[in-house]
Structure 1
Amino acid sequence: MKGKMKRKLMLLIVAILVVGSSTVFAADSVQNIKGFFSSTIKIFRNGQEVDLGIDEVTKQPYKPFVTNGRTYIPVRAIADVLGKDVNWDGPNSTVYISDKPDENYNYVLVQLLQEQEKNSKLEAKVKELEAELAKVKEDKVSSLTDMENYLNKQYDKYKDVRFEIKLSGDSKDIKVKIYVNRNDNSYWNSLTTSQIEKFVDDIVYDIDRDFKNANISGYIENNYTGKEELSFKINSKGKLEISNYKGSNGRVYDLDDMERELDYSYGRYDSIDFDFSLSGSESSIRVNVKVNSNDWYRYSYKEEFLEKVYDEINYYFPSAEIYGYIDDYYFDFDSRGYVNLR
């Protein structure tokens, strides 16, 4: 009886070794073998111990089988350790081992899909911008009359002030006349310098958009007083210059106004280009003047030029200390207005 039980146990062991939980017998390979299941043998993968897992049929842990000096491990257990898929084809007595899907491949695929989504959004935005550009082209005016009608539609009222805009000249030299409604004089006087500058700048920008490279200049006239409130032009550098704006109290309002006045009066002087920027306060004014170094070096009337600038500033800010730099040279003025250049 004991001999029969031992033989059945050995046959069961052979069956387990072949494909884990499947039983396979080849007609010409049945034989008795002696061996044992070891619970002390450890399996390491890349230096890290691994668990062989559980047999899905017997619900028992997989264990290495040792016989004749060799160690056997179920195919399904070792495939799991190596990250492979294993399938058993019973009718054909075949074991299939294959690679599992590559996680890196899946990651790259997700990234690709996200990039495709971004591209789709960008393409939609491009189409939207193209449609807007087409609309702008449709709205583009082709004559000064068209532009005048457009400006009066867009800028007939600003901050409770009503305006009338008239254009004259031609497409290369455009004169802009802006009239303040006589009944809105009080509203006009309440506008700040920056608000007026923005209003004029917007009008000039719209003209320049449709008439590239045109010389644009003009003025604002107050129909209540009949006087010119300010004048403006685009200088050789494409910058808007507003000048002669004295406001309702007969003087330049602030340093921004003073800066524009200097650019207008001395931005091109004795065939030399000067660019002014003012900072500080009304009691201490720093004047920075940009000029070509070679032009300034050869200029014979440096002191006279700076003293004219001083007189201009001192007229509006008589109590201010005035100093600054021109082409990296420091200058200031004494109590009589004479320049010290060093």
Structure 2
Amino acid sequence: MKNYKRGLLVALASILIVVFGAVSVYGAPNISTVVQAYKGVKIVYNGTTLTSEAEPFIINNTTYVPIRMLMNQFGKDISWDAQNQQVIIKNSADEINKDKQIEDLKNQVTALNAKIKGLETALGNADTTIRTIDEALNKYQKTSSTVTVPPNSDIKSNTTLGDLQTNLNKFFKDAGYEYFNDDGIAFYINLGGNPVDLVYEISLDFDNAYDYDRLNQVNQTKIKSLLNIVNAKIKSEAYGTDYQDAKITGKLIDQDNSSYYVRYNGSTYTFSWDESDDVISETTRYLKNYFKDKGDVYFSDRNIKFDISLSGDKNKLSYKIYINFDNSKNYDDLSEISKSYVRNYLNQVKSVISSQTSNTNFKNAEITGYLYDDYDSSYYVKYNGSSYTFSY
């Protein structure tokens, strides 16, 4: 009887262990049954063994690594959000500072690249200027070399003004390209007068010009260079004719806008427009050429385009820039561009304007301006001469 009772108790105890053991396991859904577990796993990063109070281990052929061990190695801050059952990972203060330093260095590199391109452009312009001077000298020498002193019997008394005019137009047929580097400018000279006074009138047509819209946009020094050669060539062509001792005067005009002209009285040139217009026009043209196709330099997107204009006087210059994103691959509007990139670009705009006007009456002018999104002008950046204000 006692053996029977003892057996019954053992059986009941076994049943209770199974039942309550099952409840403890299946009543806690976050507890997993460990089938195989191995300790002693080492994590090696770039030759260095990582250490942590919590060791990595393998369960069922899957390696489990304490996340804090890895995040500390990569400079991350990690915390546990008990309320939401989340592991929160953030960049550490040191990492944020490093990212900022990297961003600043990138901006410096961008600025240096822009300066390098600016120097390359300046060197190219210097080469162009030197070539223009060389060509003018060569043309002048060629013109002068044609002057010979014939005996009196060889004077071409039958040469007419029409003959001289025809020869001049043939000689200057490529003047637009040779003197202004723009073969779209058409040149025509009309010659009148008598053996005492010769008067020329030159008209320049800008309808098909590439870089200019009107005469006052052409550098005055280049115009003087052209007219000096015109005077020399007239003397050369008139030598040995009834007109060889004639006083030469003349006028150069914009064919479509006669209010723009240059008068020559036999010794000096008078321009109908103020030199300040010349400086602003020349600087504007330089800005457009300088920043043409520079979207990749300043914003890493070569499809961004700029339209730049400049206005003002010797006390204050103001630029207005419209930036176009129609074909951009990286941006939809101005608000998507890093503000540091925008500041860097506008700093370079100011630098170029200062450089181009440094030897003019505008050298002390205050420089201000606006940058607008070409499609949505509510996105803009204002520069007041010392700081930038963003509308977005």
Compare CA radii of gyration and give the structure with the larger one: 1
**TM-score normalised per structure 1:** 0.30
**TM-score normalised per structure 2:** 0.27
Greater length-normalized contact order (CA 8 Å, ≥ 6 residues apart): 2
| Structure (1/2) with the larger helix percentage | 2
| Structure (1/2) with the larger strand percentage | 1
